[in-house]
Amino acid sequence: MNQETMPSGKLAVFSFVAGALVGALVVALTTRKTGPEVRADLKALGRRAKGKVGELSDQAEAVWNEARDRTDQSMADLKRGVHEAAEDFKRGLHEASLDLKRSVHEAATDLRVGIASPAARSTEVGNGAPLT
């Protein structure tokens, strides 16, 4: 198995177990104990390794679940924020549209009043000359 094809969590567990086995082999080959004593030590080492792997697995699962929960919460917060921003944008756009309609209506009314009133057409504009 190479590092590129194995997920990092599995690689860590594999490395731990491989290290434990190599260590047990070294102890078995260099010890001055009898066969039954070595086997008992290896069994105890195996039980400890199994327990440690179980602990590491539980810890990894807890970290994974916490990360997943945080990600879910962040996604929900992001969706809520985007939705609120979109609603604010819609409200602002609607208000701007109403303001524009009001301004156009007022300008049209002012223009109609100005065209309809002959006195308004002959009003002097800035330089004192009557409008024709």
Q: How confident is the model over 21-49, as pLDDT tens digits?
A: 788 778 777 778 787 887 888 788 889 88
> What pTM was estimated for this model as a whole?
0.45
pLDDT of residue 123: 52
Domain borders along the chain are: 8-121
Is the pLDDT at 3 greater than 80, yes or no? no
Instruction: Give CA–CA dist 40/36, Å, rounded.
Output: 6
pLDDT of residue 1: 45
Q: How confident is the model over 71-94, as pLDDT tens digits?
A: 999 999 999 999 999 999 999 999
Q: Is the dihedral of CA 102, 107, 112, 114 positive or negative?
A: positive
Alpha carbon separation from 74 to 17, 47, 123 (Å, rounded): 36, 40, 65
SS3 (DSSP) at 124 = strand
Is the pLDDT at 116 greater than 70, yes or no? no
Buried b (16+ CB within 10 A) or exposed e, 33-72: eeeeebeeeeeebeeebeeeeeeeeeeeeeeeeeeeeeee
Instruction: Give CA–CA dist 93/95, Å, rounded.
Output: 5
Q: How confident is the model over 98-113, as pLDDT tens digits?
A: 999 999 999 988 888 8
> Would you call 26 exposed, middle or buried from its count of C-beta atoms within 10 A (0-12, 13-18, 19+)?
exposed
Q: What angle do CA 120, 125, 131 make, to 5 degrees?
A: 55
